[in-house]
Every structure is written in C-alpha cells, then in structure tokens.
Amino acid sequence: MTAAKVDTIVRGGRVVTATEVLDTSVAIRGGRIVALGHDEALPPADRTIDATGKIVLPGLIDCHVHLGPVYDDWSTGPVAAAHAGLTTLIAFAEYNDGETLPQATKRIADEASQASVLDFGFHFIVNNEPHILEGMPEAFEMGVTSFKIFMTYKKRPKRMCTDDFIAQVMEKLAALGGVCQLHCENGDILYHLENKAIAAGRVKPTDFPGTCPPWTEEEAINRAIRIGAMTGCPVYVVHLSTAGGLRRIKEAQAEGQRVWTETCPQYLLLTEKEMEKWGPLAKIGPPLRPADGGDGEALWAGSAGGHIATLASDHSPRRKASTGRGSPFPSGARRWRPWCRWPTARASCGGDCRSRGWRACWRRIPRASSVSTRARAPSAWAPTPISPSSIQSPSPPSR
Ligand SMILES: [Zn+2]
C-alpha cells in the first residue's frame, strides 16, 4: 500500500468492529479510521500505539446516564466515563418548572458543551403534563428525538404517566419520527404494595424487592407495547430486568413491531441478595431480582440472541448520605437529603437554608431526566473518536 502517511497506527491488538473480531492493525487519519490490515500493508504513521494483548474497541456509547444537579455533573461524569473507554454519553435531561422543552434543550446543551469532555446527546424525561408536549416538535428540530416517560413512581408529583398521557406522547412521537422510552413497572400496584408494606412495618431493605414483583414489569411492558402498536410509535424499554418482560418484547419483535430494549450490568450480574449486604445502597428501580428467578440467565441469553439491543449503565450516583441512611421506603418518593451544609448549601438547596440562617437543611431531591442533540467538546480526555460507522470493514463482537 502506497497511501499517504497516517497520523496513528494501533498495532498488535484484537480489534472489535461492528461485525467481527479480528487480529489486525488500525490506521487513523484526521480522527477517522482509514484502514484495517496487517502492519506491512499499512502506510507509515507519525505515531504507533502498541496494543499487544489488548482488545481494541470503537469508542463506547453509554445511552442511559443521569447527569445533573443531584448526580455527577457534566464535567465529572464525562471524565469518569472517558476513563472507562466511553466516548459518547446520552444522558437523561429534565426541564425545570415553567421551562419549555426548547428552552431546556438550549440550557442543557449549553452547559454540556462547555463542560463535557465527551460527545453527548440527550433524552428528555417528560412528566405527566400535556402542555409540555407543545414544545416537542421544536425540541425535536434541535436534535432531541427520544423522550422517556415513567409508568411508576406515583408518589412523585407528575412523574407517573397515565395511559392516556402515554398515548398522547406516542402519537406525537410517531408523527415526528421519534422514539418513546419507558420505565416499565405498574405504578399503581407498586404504590399499593409499598403502602401495605409500610403499614405492616415491613420496611427493611430486604423488604423492598417484594414490593416490586417481576410481573409488574412484564405487565407494564405489555401495555407499552400495545399502546405503541396502537399509535405506531417505536418503543424502547429502558433497564429491562425480568425474563417475563423479555418474553413479551421478543413476541412483539417477532411480529415485526418496532420494539427495542436495553439491560444493565446490575441486572446481569447482581441479585436481590445484595440488599442484605448493602441495604439501601442496593436499592434501584426496577429492583434487583430474586437469585432463583431465572431473570439474569434470560437477560444474558437475550443479549446474546440480539433481542436486547443495548447494554447501558443507568449511571445515577448520589452521595452516600442520600441513599445510605434510613429506610429504603418510600420507593419513588422524593428523597430527603440530610447533607446540605453551606457553603455546599447553595449548590444543593439553592441557598435556602443559608438565607434562613440554618446551619443545615433537609432538601427535597427530585430525580432523573432525558433529551437528544449532538455536539463535540474536544479535550485532553477525549479519545480518538471511533464509531462503528467509521470502521471500514464492518462486523459485531461475538460473545
Ligand atoms: Zn435511569
């Protein structure tokens, strides 16, 4: 090969492309992969990276991340992600009270552009308030094409969406060509079981999973799929955790419906036994599932079979103080954060406690968010951007 010099050659590694895994070298010019091949077939390079004994992956994308005031921010989160080999984050974003979707899109995109060392996008979390949908077409134009709604968390104001509202969101998204993401659990049943558990004094961490039985995910997934079919809207089930839910998704996929799902490492690797060890720190929604329920095995098989399209982290860290103390209940209610002491007070409660002369306050912490745009914030942390589409010889990691 007599091609002009390239910037970098990564040699000696096992290269994972979109369709195969092979021992080869990678030539990069101008931030793009221009060739795969044996060393002697590649042009000279300014820099050679020896990857002997290593796996060479395209830049990874984590499409389920929570960044914002109560989590990692747009500076620390992407830096941590870059250390793990990620080059793009698609985070859940939330609008503030009184803000429209386009206003929120601009605000968050500005913040992320300034702070993020990685490429990023957003999904918006939409609360159960129809007026917010008015801004959806404009937000869509700005690059946000996926919107997430919750079928649970009844104790959080406006968080849990009615079937009527879900249908309205899906109708809008179907017309725009977008995707509806759903946190699928039957919120009314979880509310009922949680109240019963609290009334009976069953409020230990190990009592939590029992208030979110696996069938409530399957039921909600079925409902989401049916509403998706009715409205013609593509459905994306976030953080799938059960074999029953997967069964229903496979059925819909076999019928040709546009239904996708993701799972997370915690559902593949951990079980509800973690509640005994870690208490409230292991409380996640949906919960870790019973060790003997077959859910983990089903999710591994679903991933291997391609029915589960994505693995994502659902990264949503909070200070130990906000999750490590007290009871794991109520689930989905706003949490109280006992850690607001100024000077951090300003950041965590808007300065309320300070202005009132308090030394500390208990601050209500709202939760998650979602939107989608694109930007590039180059920096020292940003690895050479490599995306599956820029790999010339396509093929998937086999596992
Ligand atoms: Zn999440």
Q: Could you read off the pLDDT of 164-210 as tens digits, one per residue?
A: 999 999 999 999 999 999 999 999 999 999 999 999 999 999 999 99
> What one-character-per-residue DSSP string does 200-214 give?
TT--SGGGSGGGS-H
Q: pLDDT band at 322, cuts 50/70/90?
A: low
Q: Could you read off the pLDDT of 118-158 as tens digits, one per residue?
A: 999 999 999 999 999 999 999 999 999 999 999 999 999 99
Helix (H, G, I), strand (E, B) or coil at 13: coil
Helix (H, G, I), strand (E, B) or coil at 54: coil
- 53 C-alpha to ligand 1 centroid (Å): 34
pLDDT at 383 over 90: no
> What one-character-per-residue DSSP string does 236-281 give?
EE-S---HHHHHHHHHHHHTT--EEEEE-HHHHH--TTHHHHHGGG
Q: How many Cβ atoms sit within 10 Å of the Cβ of residue 83?
A: 9
Strand ranges, E, within the chain: 6-11, 14-16, 21-23, 25-29, 32-37, 45-50, 55-56, 60-66, 86-93, 119-125, 146-150, 179-183, 235-237, 259-263, 310-311, 335-341, 360-365
Q: pLDDT band at 80, cuts 50/70/90?
A: very high
| Long-range CB contact pairs, 101-106, < 8 A, 24+ | 101/132, 101/135, 101/136, 101/138, 101/139, 101/144, 101/371, 102/135, 102/138, 102/139, 102/142, 103/135, 104/139, 104/371, 105/139, 105/142, 105/143, 105/144, 105/371, 105/373, 106/142
Q: Return the half-sphere exposure (C-beta side, CA atoms, 13 A cut-off) of residue 186.
A: 17
Spatial separation of the C-alpha atoms in residues 52 and 74, rounded to whole Å: 34
- 130 C-alpha to ligand 1 centroid (Å): 22
- 66 C-alpha to ligand 1 centroid (Å): 6
Do the beta carbons of residue 36 and residue 10 sit within 8 Å?
Answer: no
Mean per-residue pLDDT over the chain, rounded: 82
- 41 C-alpha to ligand 1 centroid (Å): 45
- 36 C-alpha to ligand 1 centroid (Å): 36
CATH code linked to domain 6-56+384-390 = 2.30.40.10
pLDDT at 329: 52
Phi, psi for residue 351 in degrees, rounded to 5: 85, 5
Question: Token digits for 298?
Answer: 């089903």
- 357 C-alpha to ligand 1 centroid (Å): 35
Do the beta carbons of residue 187 and residue 161 sit within 8 Å?
Answer: no
- 65 C-alpha to ligand 1 centroid (Å): 6
- 32 C-alpha to ligand 1 centroid (Å): 32
CB burial of 283-318 (b: ≥16 within 10 Å; e: otherwise) equals bbbbbbbbeeeebbebbbebbeeebbebbbbbbbeb
- 135 C-alpha to ligand 1 centroid (Å): 23
Choose the weakest-confidence range: 7-21, 145-159, 260-274, 374-388: 374-388
- 317 C-alpha to ligand 1 centroid (Å): 10
Assigned architecture for domain 60-323: Alpha-Beta Barrel (3.20)
- 149 C-alpha to ligand 1 centroid (Å): 11
- 346 C-alpha to ligand 1 centroid (Å): 26
Helix (H, G, I), strand (E, B) or coil at 323: helix
- Percent of the chain past pLDDT 90, that is, above it, reads 72
pLDDT at 355 over 80: no
pLDDT at 238: 98
- 388 C-alpha to ligand 1 centroid (Å): 25
Task: Give the position of tokens 């009592």.
Answer: 207
Q: pLDDT band at 388, cuts 50/70/90?
A: very low
Question: Token digits for 265?
Answer: 């490492």
- 1 C-alpha to ligand 1 centroid (Å): 48
- 187 C-alpha to ligand 1 centroid (Å): 16
Bridge partner residues of 119 (DSSP): 88
Mean pLDDT of 250-266: 98
- DSSP state at residue 384: P
- 387 C-alpha to ligand 1 centroid (Å): 24
| Cis amide leading into 205 (omega within 30) | no
Mean pLDDT of 22-41: 93
- Helix (H) or strand (E) holding 79, with range, is helix 76-83
Domain ranges of the chain: 6-56+384-390, 60-323, 335-364
Task: Give the position of tokens 């917010």.
Answer: 132
- 337 C-alpha to ligand 1 centroid (Å): 19
Spatial separation of the C-alpha atoms in residues 271 and 390, rounded to whole Å: 38
Q: Could you read off the pLDDT of 218-256 as tens digits, one per residue?
A: 999 999 999 999 999 999 999 999 999 999 999 999 999
Q: Do domains 6-56+384-390 and 60-323 have the same CATH topology?
A: no
Mean pLDDT of 273-290: 93
CB burial of 206-218 (b: ≥16 within 10 Å; e: otherwise) equals ebbbebbbbebbb
What pTM, to 2 d.p., does this model score?
0.78
